[in-house]
Amino acid sequence: MNPTDTFSLSALPRRVLLASATALALLGSHAHAADKLPVTASFSILGDLVRVVGGDRVVVTTLVGANEDAHVFEAKPTDAKTLLASKLVVTNGLGFEPWAGKLIKSAGYKGEVVVAAKGVKVRHMKEEKGHSGHDHEETDPHAWQNPNNVALYVRNIAAGLSKVDAAGATSYQANAEAYVKELQALDAWAKEQIATIPAAKRKVITSHDAFGYFAAQYGVKFLAPQGVNTDAEPSAKQVAQLIKQIQHEKIRAVFVENMSNPKLIAQLSKDAGAVVGASLYSDALSSADQPGATYLQMMRHNVTQLVAGMKLN
């Protein structure tokens, strides 16, 4: 056979080759994007955990974004569309996002739902009920403030993803277990950091009561004027009591959270003579250019700031 009779790619003009390669690459990327599992997470911290466990098999939409407050979130019609396009919806549970159940129902979403906090040992807190003066127990939903609970979260997420995408089950399990090791390292590091502060000095003021699980895990006392919900304004009496306590216990560690109103804390620190420290991240991650863009970064930032603040007590 004459060599000139054989078909050679090199004989094609270079621009034809480039155009073909580009078309193939585009086809591949579209197919890959279409292959990804659409998952909706109720708020930014869960969105991060789903991305960690799901890896490149998932595409995640978060309803309540970075620096936003899930306590006061109001769903939009587009959120119902997002749910209906999802193969999995991940919520925190424990009454953290009461709007999520309503949204799932009104959207007519019939797919799989993962309650990430399922199996967590729930903490309760006393809340003053209106003007009746009666205290009542309220579930503390902020279970992610203890990294050991987040180990449960990621395992629940891995199980949910495996249910809707059996082909990815091995990958999801492996990602979850690798992340659990990171969570264990975070927990050990946080204990070491907080151990540098004498127990009597481990007292902090924050704007709302989001750190109960952190407090129990690391032996830190948090005082918050706002209770569990950021939409509940504290009474003048509660604020006055808190100022008295700050002065009596000589607390200098005062913090605002990234999604709360800093005015109240500024008033407290002014009246009680304390200095407001850097923002803490409690119910929401920060934007990508700030120090709490992932769960692990958020926790390391919070521990570092809290330790620096408590040193001043």
pLDDT above 80 for 197: yes
Give me the architecture of the 194-310 domain, per CATH: 3-Layer(aba) Sandwich (3.40)
pLDDT at residue 292 tops 70: yes
Looking at residue 193, what is its pLDDT? 98
Model pLDDT for residues 128-155, shown as the tens digit of each residue: 544 345 566 889 999 999 999 999 999 9
Predicted TM-score of the model (pTM): 0.83
Cβ 253 vs Cβ 180: under 8 Å: no
pLDDT value of residue 102: 95
Greater confidence, 279 or 128?
279
- Residue boundaries of the structural domains of the chain: 32-182, 194-310
Q: Is the pLDDT of residue 232 over 70?
A: no
Q: Return the structure tokens found at 58.
A: 């998932």
Which pLDDT value is given to residue 24?
Answer: 53
Residue 23: what pLDDT? Answer: 54
- Residues above pLDDT 70, as percent of the chain: 81
What integer is the mean pLDDT of 3-32? 49
3-state secondary structure of 275: strand
Residue 50: what residue type? Answer: V
Q: What pLDDT, on the 0 to 100 scale, is given for residue 125?
A: 78
| pLDDT at residue 34 in the model | 65
**Phi, psi (rounded to 5 degrees) for 285:** -75, 170
Which tens digits make up the pLDDT trace of 161-178? 999 999 999 999 999 999
Q: Which CATH number applies to 32-182: 3.40.50.1820, 3.40.50.1980, 3.40.50.620, 3.40.630.30?
A: 3.40.50.1980
DSSP 85-148: T-SEEEE--TTS-HHHHHHHHHHT--SEEEETTTT---EEEEEEETTTTEEEEEEE--GGGSHH
Q: Residue range 82-93: average pLDDT? A: 98
Q: DSSP class of residue 166?
A: G
